[in-house]
Chain A
């Protein structure tokens, strides 16, 4: 046994990259679970092609999983990996550009054949020349070692080689001192029915660990201590899972059966899959013939007294637009979940973007206001779903819940909430007549509104005496019969808008993070940019400058104090993964000269680049030179 050196690090970013069929997502996920169990804070970024099995060995077929873990609170999956594990030449070539000089590169030499090098566009083997001289390169025959390690199980060479991802995981687990029990237990569960495959994977995993410990290739292992976190029970969770749990919780806390009408679409399908497992909560999942039928059935279920939900991505919202308008007109509770992806059209199905904000806001005919709620991190999808349900039920309105591809598949430690701390939602069904008649009797008016919320009564079929008809035609104020009266239409259009505006009365003040109180620049974001913005702001503050940060959960209506907050700052920077959609809304609403910071690369914003943009604005606002490189960078995430 060689005595190995152990180095302390405060954070590491690892990227596992390989062919789509190499199991990189699973490898990354297991490493993440091990890190979570160890108690690090973490953030992940899966990145994979839309094709299920793109041509083997090619650049488009590369799938990767990045995990950032630390001994302190972190906000993003990290800009640039410290370690790249590349299972083939294409994975190396596709990811090398993201690495800083000095990064560790572990490659599986087995796949560096002439044929695979050519497929990846290499004319010479980069392992043989000095093109990787800037990196700490570790060429290891991961495949060959794996095949040798699992020989006793008598698998075909192909099946044996498939366990190479577990060998790599074992090696990395050794390097970073990860606990291995959960992965071994996982492999036992996963391959319970195929003993030889199970044993081969566990053996490959252990062999990878032992290889790290015994070989001289790796002289150093690292320790990243657990991060201090608020007391509680934690689990690692992706945004889609948290969102699905939030929908389950919305049903439980409202007492309403949840009805999901949905059509499969990337990256939203996992919510459908998850909810379909929870029928015991009275949840119906209806996989419809198309996007329109999905929302149509959800509207029907809402009319019948369920919490109607439809889940989709941007192209699906486009198809559902007319039906969302129907829900606006009929004033029925409805959740419309848009897990945004790169657009327009089919766009980038597996990549993230925030470019559906204006579609959510305006993408319907007529004046059709829809409240918009956006989660800011994977775990926050849970709370955001409950908040969207609260608004939908309380105000009898469709609500748009804007998640995105990064939140959907990315993960973070999530402190599991106590059920008693979750909000309750009161469906407050109408049970009797509400409109007095001259003769002393009374009848039921389906559009007679609550004075505080302007919500109309929710009278569900089966309630005697409240029979009524609703529909897409304009309704007469109060009685709800068809009305073509010009003044009535003007009144109803304004009333529907006023109802959505009233939601702002129920919102808490916007939290502004301005620790010094001296900031002249405010960075305002929404949705999944919360992490990169927070990390960018930290960098700027670390370098000794002042900057304030606020993040919008409610995009429609805005919090009531937003205008006043914007006025307090000389400059407002709005980072978005679009070409300036929130900026446009802010400019129109508050006449504020919002400065956009916009990237649409299908990936989360990079904190370091964003910090530079913040710095420039601070320099302008305060008339000083800003140099962010001055302090030590290692403590910055």
Chain B
């Protein structure tokens, strides 16, 4: 078999081809007339508010924004935004968004999904969207439980979890969504928290600006079926030790007074937590989100607890430039079209009239 060098359309912003507006926009314009129907106290409200507040900052024409979702609590999201939107079927939002993003370069495409939607029933579409690097932003609301079906364990639930479907404890080993996305060679992989609006907004901005598939895991509390799942990283007394903040170009430090940090683990080749006082500041790992090799980002992602969440790195793990599927698909069509001038009707006549023909008079 042979292969060919693909032309690289060049680096661009994630929204570069989307029409903009000079008219200032407000969050209200992005709010639809539909009543929001999540449970009181649901983390989804905070994310919705943040997105409604953030979208005007992009300055894009509202009609050129499309939100696509699957099934689950979070997937009601598009109904509450006054943009174009589709609430589709369970797990398939990335495939539908792939069609939209490939068909139209002038749209800003967003996928809203949950841990069940994206990682169980839709796991296949998620990893393939990531490897293709289709220009879209995927927001994965991870509450580590099935909410809409009323409280079964999810693919991110901790082992041993007692739920309606696991009265003796869940046997499933959970996915770490960030590890999974990095394993699928996602070009933009980040994690943020529903309750930290400032961090959430900064990650969303970076995700929108990235050209390719931006994957953002958002820790989101379900007050009904999994309340307190993220208490350790939200509680003011514990969060300093629980959150490992990732900032590109900065040494990775956390803990009260920044007393802890990440260093290379010489034995495993991975990374591990150390007391800064023991190892010295110079030994701390400096976060490099732009490293083409995802190994270190993956190693950092492994510091996330798979059981109850007492420790988790937060921020942008990886942000690298890579050609996008949709740009290249459109480039191939452009190249082929340029090489075939003429009216479509005439070219159609030439196509169907080709091959070995004979004429009967």
Contact = CB atoms under 8 A, between A and B. Distances in A.
A280 interface: yes
Interface stretch (A296-304, A367-375, A626-634): A296-304
Given A297-B96, A326-B89, A419-B345, A257 B357 contact: no
Interface string A224-258: 00000111111110000000010011001000010
A248 B348 contact: yes
A301 B333 CA distance: 15
B84 interface: yes
5 contacts: A234-B357, A278-B351, A279-B333, A279-B335, A418-B349
Contacts of B354: 235
B84 A282 contact: no
A470 B66 CA distance: 11
Contacts of B360: 39, 229-234
B349 A419 contact: yes
Contacts of B89: 322-323, 325-326, 472
A286 interface: yes
Q: How large is the interface on B (under 10, 10 to 19, 20 to 34, 35 or more residues)?
A: 35 or more
B103 A300 contact: yes
Nearest to B101: A300
A482 interface: yes
Contacts of B125: 289, 292-293, 296
B87 A469 contact: yes
Nearest to A470: B86
B336 A280 contact: yes
Contacts of A37: 356, 358
A290 B124 contact: yes
Interface stretch (A459-467, A537-545, A589-597): A459-467
A300 B347 contact: no
B83 A296 contact: no
A481 B69 CA distance: 16
B356 A235 contact: yes
B357 A182 contact: no
Interface in B67-102: 68-69, 71, 78-79, 81-90, 92, 94-102
Contacts of A236: 355-356
A259 interface: yes
B87 A231 contact: no
A481 B99 contact: no
A468 B352 contact: no
Contact of B79 (A36, A302, A303, A469): A469
A61 interface: no
Given A292-B92, A462-B107, A471-B88, A304 B63 contact: no
A516 to B, nearest CB: 30
A252 B343 CA distance: 10
B61 interface: yes
Given A467-B63, A467-B82, A300 B356 contact: no
A395 B360 CA distance: 38
A301 B353 contact: no
Nearest to A237: B355
A461 B84 contact: yes
Contacts of B85: 468-471
A20 interface: no
A323 B96 CA distance: 10
A63 interface: no
A299 B95 CA distance: 9
Nearest to A33: B356
Question: Which of A278, A286, A322, A482 gathers most chain B CB within 10 Å?
Answer: A286
A73 to B, nearest CB: 12
A461 B357 contact: no
Interface string B326-361: 000100110111011000111111011111111111
A424 B67 CA distance: 32
